[in-house]
Amino acid sequence: MASEAPATLDRTTRAGYVALVGRPNTGKSTLLNQLIGEKLSIVTAKAQTTWQRVTGIRTTATSQIIFLDTPGILLARDLLQRSMLYEAIESIREADVVLLLLDATHELAKKELAGLKDALSHRSGPLFAAINKVDRATPANLAALVEICRTELGVDPTGISAKKGSGVEDLAKELEAALPEGPFLFPEDEIASSPVRFFVAEFVRETIFQRYREEIPYSVFCQVEEYREEQDPLYIHVNLFAEEKSQKRILIGDKGSAIRALGTAAREKIEHFVGRPVYLDLWVKVLPGWRRRRRDLTRFGLRVPEEHESD
C-alpha cells in the first residue's frame, strides 16, 4: 500500500516594498536596523548620513517586508544632494507602502512640510506615519506633529522610539497588513539585497563621519577597489575620494596617524559584519569637485536625475 503524501499547509503570505522616508536625521536608519535586527544602515549623530538607498529584508512566517531606507528629503544644493533626493523619490514611486518618519524633537517648518508633501505626491500606495523619539518630545511639539499628520497628510501617526525599540513591533504589524498578498520575493534567510562590498564601503564612510568634523565627511566617497575573499585574512582595498588636497592631508593626519586610526575602527566593524579577520587597505585620492559632476557620481553608482544629464 502506497504511503500518502504529507498534507501541505495552505498559508496566505504577503510581500512588498516599504519606503522609509523623512527629513534628514529623523532616525530612518536606526529604525531599519531595529526592524531587521542587524546593523545594515550606518548611523551617526550628523545629518545626511544616508546617501544611497539601503535595502533591508524582514521575513516572518507569513510576510516579507523589503524596507528601503532612503536619503533624507531636503532642499538640494549640489548634484550629490539632487541625486540623494532623486533616490528618495524613486523609492517612493516604487514602494507598495510608504512610511513617513518624523522627529518628535524637531519643530517641522512650513517649508520642510511642503518638501515632504511634494515628495509624497509621487506615491501610489498607502501612507503611514510614525513619530520617532517620542520619549524625548515635549507634549506641545508632539501634539503639533500629530495635528500635522491628521490635517495635512490624512493619517493617524504611531509614536515610537526607534533607538529603544518601543512601538516598533506594533508598527511593523500595521505595515505587514498593508502589503499585497503574494509569494516572498527573496529567500527567507536573506536580510539584505546589496553586495557585501556596499556595506564595507558604508562602514568606512560611517567611521569617517564619526572621526572627522566639518566638511570632511560630506566630501569623501568610499569605494571598494579590491575584495580578495580567497585570502586569509580577507583583503579589502578601499579608495577614499576627497575633493581637495587639504582634505587628503586631514584624512591621513600627521605621519599617517589619522588614517591608521580610521582603518582600525572601520576594520572592527567590517570583521563583525563578515565574521572573519580582515586586512583593510585604505588609500586616499583627490577627485576635485566629484559632488558636482554627473560622470563621477554615476561612476560611484549613484543615480542622477535625467534633467542633469549634461552635467
Domain ranges in the chain are 14-178, 196-308
CA distances from 137 to 52, 96, 99, 103, 295 (A): 29, 30, 20, 9, 43
Which whole number is the average pLDDT over 27-39?
96
Q: What is the pLDDT of residue 75?
A: 87
CA 66 – CA 16 distance, rounded (Å): 6
Across the chain, mean pLDDT equals: 93
CA 297 – CA 79 distance, rounded (Å): 8
Residue 306 has pLDDT above 80, yes or no: no
The share of the chain scoring above pLDDT 90, in percent, equals: 90
Locate cell 560622470: which residue? 295
- Band (8; pLDDT cuts 50, 70, 90): very low
* 188 contacts 59 by C-beta, under 8 angstroms: yes
- Band (5; pLDDT cuts 50, 70, 90): very low
In total, the chain counts a number of residues equal to 311
> Which residue in 58, 89, 50, 45 sits closest to 168, CA to CA?
58
Cis omega before residue 24 (within 30°)? no
Q: What is the pLDDT of residue 307?
A: 63
CA 106 – CA 75 distance, rounded (Å): 17
Q: What is the pLDDT of residue 311?
A: 45
Lookup: cell for 149? 499628520
CATH superfamily of 14-178: P-loop containing nucleotide triphosphate hydrolases (3.40.50.300)
Q: What is the pLDDT of residue 9?
A: 46
Ranges assigned E (strand) in 44-126: 54-59, 63-69, 97-103
For 50, residues 6+ apart whose C-beta sits below 8 A from its C-beta are 28, 29, 41, 42, 69, 70, 71, 72, 84
Q: What is the pLDDT of residue 20?
A: 98
Lookup: cell for 265? 575602527
- Band (10; pLDDT cuts 50, 70, 90): low
Which whole number is the average pLDDT over 265-277?
97
- Band (50; pLDDT cuts 50, 70, 90): very high
* pLDDT tens, position by position, 213-255: 989 999 999 999 999 999 999 999 999 999 999 999 999 999 9
- Band (32; pLDDT cuts 50, 70, 90): very high
Which whole number is the average pLDDT over 30-47?
93
Ranges assigned E (strand) in 110-149: 127-132
> Which residue in 281, 82, 110 sits closest to 200, CA to CA?
281
pTM score, whole prediction: 0.91
* 240 contacts 251 by C-beta, under 8 angstroms: yes
| CATH number corresponding to 196-308 | 3.30.300.20
* pLDDT tens, position by position, 170-216: 999 999 999 999 999 999 999 999 999 999 999 999 999 999 998 99
Beta bridge partners, 63, equal 14
* 25 contacts 50 by C-beta, under 8 angstroms: no
The share of the chain scoring above pLDDT 70, in percent, equals: 95
